[in-house]
Structure 1
Amino acid sequence: MFNAAAVEVDITPPVGVKMAGYGARLKASQGIHDPLKAQILFLELNDSRAVLISMDLLAVQAQFSKNMRAAITEKTGVAEDHVLIACSHTHSGPQGFNLDDLILQETQYETLQEITCQKIAGACAWAKGLLQPAVISLGHSTIDGLGLNRNDPQKGAADHQVSVLRIDEASGKPLAVLFNYGCHPTVMGADNLQISADYPGAARSMLKELYPQVVFMFTNSAAGDVSTRFTRRSATFSEVTRLGQIMGAAVLQAMNVAESFDPQTLKARVEPIDLPLKEFPTEAETQELLAEAKDTLSRMQAEHASAGELRKIITKIEGIEVFLLQIKYYKGKEKLQSELQSIQIGPLHIVAVPGEPFSKTFLDIKQRIQPDQAILVGYANDYKGYFPESVPGLPGTYEDFVSPFSSQAALIIKELAIKLIKEK
């Protein structure tokens, strides 16, 4: 017997906390445009249980996930490795959950962490009490006008597929919908001081108007090099709404073509992973790169380059400045450790990655398996940053500089993900 339940809780922080996502944002939050939410999808098949959690946060570190998993296990009995914790990656949420981030150096809010942990653990116990017979379906659609490769919008890789996991009551009434798509929720920029879930929250709001009783949850996918940089018309909340509606329309389409499948198995697996660091140049060489990039910016400004092109060189400068910090911080280190997680529901594998995979990574995975077999979830369980793959003709991007990893890290993630998907 396959059972499911879903609940949603508010995790909006107090006004006045510092906001995550932009090093250039110096002021704390000054208001709430729309609330931040967390959704819990509780699945049960015979004696096996799994919990999928999505939160409107930038990212969480491994220690927070460890604490939350322990709290959920205590309240529900679900094994810790059967709990997946994903973040939407909104850049208009609170700091305090990703304290290991060398780039952003977040302020610690222990009370906020504890309250959020207890809210979600309690919601998991709530969902356990709501379990009911259910039917599971998987659907896909293609989205246009939302995410593009933010370094090369014409030729750069971007996965335009939206994947939807639909859970219905036995009667056929929708109960929960998980939608997965890879794109940075960065419509609102560093000057925004209003807390917001960005376009995924706007998509959920649109969908809730049509299905008020359904829990809609967003998980980000291979978004490392994909954003709204070249599709957004402005950095305004009206634009958040417009792009959210584009997202919502694609979800509706996928919901309506979703096909049910037999969840004959429900199991999970967590695999440790070693992520090799890059070979860093000298500080002098990096300072020279920084000077060249600043000269390029000055020339482009004088030539009145477009906002999108200016943003590319500005983020490159920001990346080189972070690179200088990394040269010192990672001196003597060769690798960082984290984990990959797979939750298998019948033929479907949901693979959780601890950071920001690039589009090429997931597109390559889908070429080597049956595409309907996998949903790739980024920003999950831990956050180690960008996992760039070397792309000919695109050296020296912001992501290349900011990531401490060699391109080998992405290849290791790719091969382990494929192994987890293919293993029965």
Structure 2
Amino acid sequence: MKIGLAEVNITPPLGMQIPGYGPKERLASGVKDELFAKAMVIESGETLLAFIVIDIVSLELDSCQRIRSRVRDYTGIPSEQVMVACTHTHTGPPRPLDEAALAFYPTLEAKSADAAILAYGKREEARIGCGRGSEDSVAFNRRFFMKDGTVQTNPGIRNPNIDRTEGPIDPEVLVVRIDNALGEPLGIVSNYAVHTDCVSGTEYSGDYPAFISRTIKQLYGESVVSLFMQGACGNINHIDVEGRHDPKVVPHRVRMGNILGREIARVREKTKAASEEADLAVASRFMNVSERALRQHEIEWAEHTLAELGGMPADTLSSRQAMEKARAELRLAAAGRPLASRDYEVQAAAIGELAVVALPAEIFVEFGLEIKAKSPYAYTIINELSGGSGNGYVCTREAYDRGGYEPTGTKFAEEAGELFVQAALELLNELHGRE
């Protein structure tokens, strides 16, 4: 078995719009952490798999296809054997929405592909092993039942009207240890479910995965690549409503990255890396999913919101107001047209006893937990925001009934999550049956 890993700096020029908080202008003024595209290429027998993870909030299908094509052209790895995902950092490169961003995207796509091309060139005899840990102090379900029976997203720290959380978290920390033939560390793949939305401001940052990488490099050396795959965290973030951590003392991204980095290192040290070849396999399925039909109370909310905010100058709106106005406009536009649909890819890759499931968009944690519980593999990584799915929430049916922030979108039909879970499990069982 041969494995190569590489990381390529993709930090954009200053002055570009940083996405993640709606339409409010948010031009990059500095760099907290450099942004990267990271890649791992695995060869076993006659099969090659490539995994690329990009420090970006989301990626569109055409960009994903161009990245895969460049990797194929330079390495011969078939496009369907290349998995492309996002860390979902909210302080990363722009979306391709204006002239400056569109001019930058060919460079972003080429460098993202180059990470895999470089990893391909660095392949060497390697050992691999999987382990799991647990961490429940940095992730919180952000949806809450309030005492009046409603559900709110992020209702505020120490809000006396909070009753209880709506759902679970996924505390599992999955770790893939990768060593060379001499037992020296080459890289670590890690997987955890919590939003990369801990920084805000106008400086580029890889968020807490950047600090996981710092911790790993401090422990094992600067050449060791830390490749983080984002778990199912559509309704999970870092905000503890009990207020037990003061980010003014230690910023969230630093605290979370250090805690997770140490747990990842602890698991790595207890995990044996085997030298024998691992069976590699990959399969994918494109599914046509329609947009969601709006309910009458949602249309009424949009009309009421625009009546309140529509006449206010854009520069007087808060970020929250600007986001609500934009959502209201999108809702009313959607209400007047037939439901559109598009194809989304669900992909699964197997590396011996490890499976990696690539899912579209921002997946609620319940779906990730279901896939893990029913997977035939000993270890299952959920790798969301994959395959050029763009952004948007894939919610549980109950969430649409209860409201809150996440169900405000119209991109995914209410049954989308169940369809993605079904497809993922069918692919996993198909791969497992080949072994």
Q: TM-score, normalization: structure 2?
A: 0.83
Query: Alignment partner for residue 285 of structure 1, among 284, 288, 300?
Result: 300
Q: Counterpart of 2:174? A: 163
Matched residues in 2 for 1:322 and 1:107: separation?
23
* Structure 1 residue 318 displacement after superposition: 4.4
The answer (yes or no) to whether the contact 1:318–1:398 under 8 Å persists in 2 is: no
The answer (yes or no) to whether the contact 1:188–1:236 under 8 Å persists in 2 is: no
Cα distance change on mapping 1:235 and 1:57 into 2, 3 Å: farther
* Structure 1 residue 339 displacement after superposition: 0.8
Query: Alignment partner for residue 255 of structure 1, among 268, 271, 274?
Result: 268
| Aligned length, in residue pairs | 396
Report matched runs for 1:17-416 at 5 Å. 17-23=16-22, 25-97=24-96, 99=97, 109-152=101-144, 154-189=165-200, 192-212=201-221, 213-230=223-240, 233-234=246-247, 238-260=251-273, 263-282=277-296, 285-287=300-302, 290=305, 318=323, 322-329=327-334, 331-370=337-376, 372-382=378-388, 383-391=390-398, 395-416=402-423
Matched residues in 1 for 2:55 and 2:400: separation?
34
Structure 1, 268-277 or 350-359: larger mean CA deviation:
268-277
Matched residues in 2 for 1:290 and 1:38: separation?
39
CA offsets 1:161-214 (integer angstroms, 9 cap, x no match): 11111211122111111111111111123xx01111111111111211111121
The sequence identity of aligned pairs, in percent, is 25
Cα distance change on mapping 1:289 and 1:85 into 2, 3 Å: same
The answer (yes or no) to whether the contact 2:51–2:116 under 8 Å persists in 1 is: no
Matched residues in 2 for 1:27 and 1:367: separation?
40
Matched residues in 2 for 1:44 and 1:15: separation?
38
Specify the SS of the correspondent of 1:109: helix
Matched residues in 2 for 1:287 and 1:357: separation?
24
Cα distance change on mapping 1:58 and 1:384 into 2, 3 Å: closer
Structure 1, 115-124 or 70-79: larger mean CA deviation:
115-124
Q: Counterpart of 1:102? A: none
Q: Counterpart of 2:312? A: none
Matched residues in 2 for 1:158 and 1:293: separation?
36
Specify the SS of the correspondent of 2:179: strand
Specify the SS of the correspondent of 1:176: strand
CA offsets 1:108-147 (integer angstroms, 9 cap, x no match): 6233211122223333332222211111111111112211
* Structure 1 residue 4 displacement after superposition: 0.3
Q: TM-score, normalization: structure 1?
A: 0.86
Letter in 1 for 2:235: D
* Structure 1 residue 256 displacement after superposition: 2.1
Runs of 4+ in structure 1 off by over 6 angstroms are 291-294, 314-317
Matched residues in 1 for 2:294 and 2:238: separation?
30
- What are structure 1's unaligned runs of at least 5 residues? 100-105, 295-310
Letter in 2 for 1:274: N
The answer (yes or no) to whether the contact 2:284–2:347 under 8 Å persists in 1 is: yes
The answer (yes or no) to whether the contact 1:87–1:220 under 8 Å persists in 2 is: yes
Matched residues in 2 for 1:370 and 1:323: separation?
43
The answer (yes or no) to whether the contact 1:139–1:163 under 8 Å persists in 2 is: yes
Cα distance change on mapping 1:287 and 1:21 into 2, 3 Å: closer
Matched residues in 1 for 2:70 and 2:21: separation?
30
Matched residues in 1 for 2:415 and 2:196: separation?
27
The answer (yes or no) to whether the contact 1:293–1:317 under 8 Å persists in 2 is: no
Letter in 2 for 1:224: G
